[in-house]
């Protein structure tokens, strides 16, 4: 839709509104009433449209009034904005859709609410125009009556952009980016706007930096604006106006490299300006760790604690995040001695390592460190204790052990026993913290004792018991190298005391004696804690015996009788007991591991004859699953001992004879090696053996005579069968007991049968056949077993009487010729 308005000298305005293509044009006639009498119309000097969305407004200027019509109304009404007017050539519209009129005293601006700002450009105005934000005015030259001045004003920057004298202007056109001026002497003047770079160079030459800044900001070019601000700042810096120069540099943040500004203000006298710049840099989130370091250093140099507090405790972004590099801030604050600030930053950022490092290494806040660790999640608390536990154990051992137990057992009040996914968290093992007790073995022993008392089924019970056992059995609980340092301190202490005694006896002068006395007092007060440590670490004999008793108790309690394997490494336990000479533990382990030979060797090595025999009585009883051959080893030990051990030998011989462990000849040969044993020791044993052997010989002789008689009888019977005839006198069949009739079959075993009762088997007697076959099978088995050499040697090795085994195999025909 188009709207065309035409103003006439008669005071009427003709308006055409509608769409030309559709032919729906409407005509409207408006009238502006003169303000003098209210009856006549005034000539129209100028018109101007103001469009605000769908609303269209028409400015109407006459020589004596300024009016406004709302064109969106059905019948637009005349709204008088002002009772002044102007010539038609002195009316224009600016870029903000404001009406601009020129009067001799000033240039006025109007909007739909009435008169707005004005500019006091004095002089008779013959033309007013607007071009690209510039106000063009033709003003009469007061110095030359026949000339005018063509001024171009930059209202935003409040300056005259261009001015030159000109004759009478008939018209001004703005086309093709230029201003074309037509004069009455038929001249055409064309004005073109300079490029931005030329404008800025001109302004720089005139030191109009503020104007240059405003000019370049109107172009909305951030990089160009920053460059102008930089030059302005350099200009002020050269004039030693450092505060204002820094204000300009601050406006370049985000465009200008910060190092350019920083290097200009590194002088100590300009540290305030540098601090201000760095603060702004951090506020905009453009600071690097180096900038953070420099800013905190500036705060510390200025001792601006309040600013440092505000920077550290107030610099937070979204969700409480710190707006600077945490590690850098912590390091700088710590180096400058602002430990509380460094701890605040570390705690706020969740840097537990830095927080504890400052607290322990710089402030010595051991109790606070333990409380802080207790408040951490379980995993994090375990990590920090592994890292700083050694320091804490050295200064606060009981409290540290309480925290450790809370973490390992899972009853810590501050630690969370649930992981992020809701599953139970795996508790740390005490083995993971053994390294923190490297200089405190006594406290390690205490810690592990407390743990095994609270936790009975730990996954690391083997490692825990191994470590605890090693502590119980160790020769000295002082850590390697630690005792040496303590010895040096002891020597230094005694040396100082000797020197004091010599000075007391013969001081060179009063002053020297007092000076030395003061220095020694200070030295002793300094090493007082070390000396107390030396005294506390000295272990008495009773304490060591108590510790060994705990070790034996641990060996027994950790290997119950109903369990096949102990809760510790038995091989390691044996090695420890052997290395450290713990006899009771070694005896217990050998017995539990059924290493009876090694057990006996321990008693033999210690010459504990009573213990050796008592052990054999307990372990060599076959009825209890013991090994009776241990008595033979004991007998051999006494035979090779070379000492008078008659009573022990007699007692051993009783058990050797009871179980018939060794032949008497071997016993006598073994005991004959000991020159201190007399015949009286074995007299009774030999007599009993002779008597027993005599009885065996008599029994064997009787058996031989019996077998010889039976053999003679059998041989005689065989001879009779071969040489003499047999008379069969049976009258009944041995099978059916009927009267025997022909045909009959008679066997040499004196059994007779009807031939019909025998059937097909006429070669064997049915009555004697089972017994004969049993004997034949036995003979066949004996012959086969006589060829099984592996079985023969195995029986020979396992038998107590090898001769009887050989004799038996001789009877089986082991040496008979094979056919």
The predicted-structure confidence for 695-719, as pLDDT tens digits, reads as follows 988 998 999 999 899 899 988 888 8
DSSP state of 323: S
CA 548/CA 588 separation, integer angstroms: 14
415 pLDDT above the threshold of 60:
no
Q: Which of 457-466, 501-510, 567-576, 609-618 has the lowest mean pLDDT?
A: 501-510
**Are residues 602 and 586 in contact, defined by beta-carbon separation less than 8 angstroms?**
yes
**What mean pLDDT, rounded, does the chain reach?**
77
Strand 159-166, strand 178-183: pairing: unpaired
The predicted-structure confidence for 656-669, as pLDDT tens digits, reads as follows 777 777 777 877 87
pLDDT at 484: 41
- Which residues are CB-neighbours of 250 under 8 A, at least 6 positions away? 276, 277, 280
Average pLDDT on 293-308 reads 76
**Any idea where the domains of the chain sit in the sequence?**
2-185, 483-535, 725-767, 773-819
**Are residues 107 and 119 in contact, defined by beta-carbon separation less than 8 angstroms?**
yes
176 pLDDT above the threshold of 60:
yes
Average pLDDT on 86-91 reads 86
Question: What's the Rg (C-alpha) of the chain?
Answer: 63
pLDDT at 523: 41
503 pLDDT above the threshold of 50:
no
The predicted-structure confidence for 467-497, as pLDDT tens digits, reads as follows 888 888 887 776 443 334 434 444 554 454 3
| 0.75 surpassed by pTM | no
75 pLDDT above the threshold of 60:
yes
pLDDT at 55: 84
Strand 125-131, strand 114-119: pairing: unpaired
CATH T-level topology, domain 725-767? Herpes Virus-1 (3.30.40)
Strand, coil or helix: 633: helix
CA 390/CA 396 separation, integer angstroms: 10
Q: What percent of the chain has pLDDT over 70?
A: 84
pLDDT at 110: 92
pLDDT range class, residue 501, cuts 50, 70, 90: very low
pLDDT at 511: 43
In the chain, count of helices (H) and strands (E)? 32, 20
CA 669/CA 515 separation, integer angstroms: 84
CA 462/CA 483 separation, integer angstroms: 29
User: What φ, ψ does residue 468 adopt, rounded to 5°?
Assistant: -65, -40
Q: What angle do CA 346, 348, 352 make, to 5 degrees?
A: 45
pLDDT at 624: 66
The predicted-structure confidence for 219-250, as pLDDT tens digits, reads as follows 677 888 888 888 888 888 888 888 888 888 88
**Are residues 604 and 612 in contact, defined by beta-carbon separation less than 8 angstroms?**
yes
pLDDT range class, residue 109, cuts 50, 70, 90: very high
pLDDT at 626: 67
The predicted-structure confidence for 332-343, as pLDDT tens digits, reads as follows 777 777 777 777
Q: Which of 486-495, 515-524, 538-547, 646-655 has the lowest mean pLDDT?
A: 515-524
CA 231/CA 40 separation, integer angstroms: 62
CATH T-level topology, domain 2-185? Methylamine Dehydrogenase; Chain H (2.130.10)
DSSP state of 744: E
Q: What is the b/e burial string over 89-122, where b = at least 16 CB atoms within 10 angstroms of the residue's CB?
A: bbbbbbeeebbbbbbeeebbbbbbeeeeeeeebe
pLDDT at 513: 40
Strand 2-7, strand 78-82: pairing: unpaired
Residue 53 buriedness (CB in 10 A; 0-12 / 13-18 / 19+): exposed
């Amino acid at each position: 839709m188009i709207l065309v308005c035409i103003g006439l000298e008669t005071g009427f305005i003709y308006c055409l509104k509608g769409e030309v293509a559709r032919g729906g044009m409407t005509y409207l006639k408006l009238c502006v009433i003169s303000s003098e009498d209210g009856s006549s119309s005034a000539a129209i000097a100028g018109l101007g449209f103001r469009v605000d969305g769908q609303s269209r407004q028409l400015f109407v200027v006459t020589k004596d009034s300024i009016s406004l019509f709302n064109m969106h109304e059905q019948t637009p009404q005349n709204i008088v904005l002002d009772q002044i007017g102007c010539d038609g050539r002195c009316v224009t519209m600016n870029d903000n859709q404001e009406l601009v009129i020129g009067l001799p005293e000033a240039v006025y601006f109007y909007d739909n609410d009435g008169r707005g700002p004005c500019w006091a450009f004095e002089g008779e105005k013959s033309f007013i125009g607007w071009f690209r934000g510039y106000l063009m005015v033709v003003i009469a030259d007061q110095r030359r009556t026949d000339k005018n001045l063509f001024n171009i004003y930059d209202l935003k920057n409040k300056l005259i952009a261009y001015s030159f004298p000109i004759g009478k202007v008939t018209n001004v056109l703005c086309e093709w980016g230029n201003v074309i001026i037509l004069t009455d002497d038929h001249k055409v003047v064309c004005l073109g706007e300079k490029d931005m770079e030329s404008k800025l160079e001109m302004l720089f030459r005139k030191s109009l930096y503020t104007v240059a800044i405003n000019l370049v900001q109107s172009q909305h070019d951030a990089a160009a604006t920053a460059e102008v601000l930089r030059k302005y700042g350099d200009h002020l810096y050269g004039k030693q106006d450092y505060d204002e120069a820094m204000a300009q540099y601050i406006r370049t943040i985000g465009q200008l490299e910060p190092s350019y500004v920083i290097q200009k203000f590194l002088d100590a006298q300009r540290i305030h300006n540098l601090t201000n710049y760095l603060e702004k840099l951090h506020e905009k989130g453009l600071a690097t760790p180096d900038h953070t370091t420099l800013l905190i250093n500036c705060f510390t140099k200025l001792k601006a604690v309040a600013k440092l507090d505000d920077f550290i405790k107030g610099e937070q972004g979204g969700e409480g995040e710190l707006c600077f590099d945490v590690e850098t801030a912590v390091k700088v604050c710590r180096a400058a001695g602002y430990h509380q600030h460094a701890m605040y930053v570390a705690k706020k950022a969740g840097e537990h390592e830095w927080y504890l490092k400052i607290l322990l290494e710089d402030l010595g806040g051991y109790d606070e460190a333990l409380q802080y660790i207790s408040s951490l999640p379980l995993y994090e608390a375990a990590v920090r204790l592994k890292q700083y536990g050694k320091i804490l154990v050295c200064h606060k051992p009981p409290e540290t052990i309480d925290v450790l137990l809370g973490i390992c057992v899972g009853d810590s009040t501050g630690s969370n026993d649930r992981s992020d996914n809701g599953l139970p968290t795996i508790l740390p093992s005490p083995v993971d913290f053994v390294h923190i007790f490297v200089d405190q073995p006594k406290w390690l022993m205490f810690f592990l004792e407390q743990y095994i008392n609270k936790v009975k089924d730990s996954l690391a019970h083997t490692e825990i018991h191994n470590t605890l056992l090693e502590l119980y059995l160790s020769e000295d609980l002082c850590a390697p190298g630690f005792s040496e340092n303590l010895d040096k301190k002891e020597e230094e202490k005694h040396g100082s005391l000797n020197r004091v005694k010599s000075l007391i006896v013969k001081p060179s002068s009063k002053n020297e004696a007092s000076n030395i006395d003061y220095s020694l007092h200070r030295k002793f007060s300094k090493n007082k804690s070390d000396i107390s440590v030396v005294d506390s670490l000295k272990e008495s004999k009773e304490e060591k015996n108590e510790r060994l008793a705990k070790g034996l108790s641990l060996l027994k309690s950790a290997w119950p009788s109903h369990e096949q394997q102990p809760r510790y490494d038995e091989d390691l336990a044996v090695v420890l007991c052997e290395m450290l000479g713990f006899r009771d533990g070694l005896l217990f382990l050998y017995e539990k591991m059924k290493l009876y030979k090694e057990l006996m060797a321990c008693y033999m090595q210690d010459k504990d004859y009573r213990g050796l025999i008592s052990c054999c009585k307990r372990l060599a009883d076959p009825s209890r699953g013991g090994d009776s051959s241990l008595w033979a080893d004991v007998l051999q030990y006494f035979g090779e001992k070379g000492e008078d051990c008659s009573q022990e030998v007699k007692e051993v011989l009783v058990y050797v004879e009871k179980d018939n462990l060794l032949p008497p000849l071997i016993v006598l040969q073994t005991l004959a090696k000991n020159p201190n044993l007399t015949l009286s020791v074995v007299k009774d044993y030999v007599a009993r053996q002779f008597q027993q052997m005599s009885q065996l010989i008599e029994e064997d002789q009787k058996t031989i005579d019996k077998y010889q008689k039976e053999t003679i009888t059998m041989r005689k019977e065989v001879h009779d069968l071969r040489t003499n005839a047999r008379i069969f006198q049976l009258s009944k069949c041995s099978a059916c007991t009927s009267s025997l009739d022909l045909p009959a079959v008679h066997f040499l075993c004196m059994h007779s049968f009807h031939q019909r009762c025998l059937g097909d088997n006429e070669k064997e007697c049915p009555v004697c056949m089972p017994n004969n076959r049993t004997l034949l099978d036995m003979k066949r088995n004996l012959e086969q077993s006589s060829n099984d050499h592996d079985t023969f040697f195995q029986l020979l090795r396992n038998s107590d009487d090898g001769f009887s085994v050989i004799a038996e195999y001789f009877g089986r025909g082991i040496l008979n010729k094979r056919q």
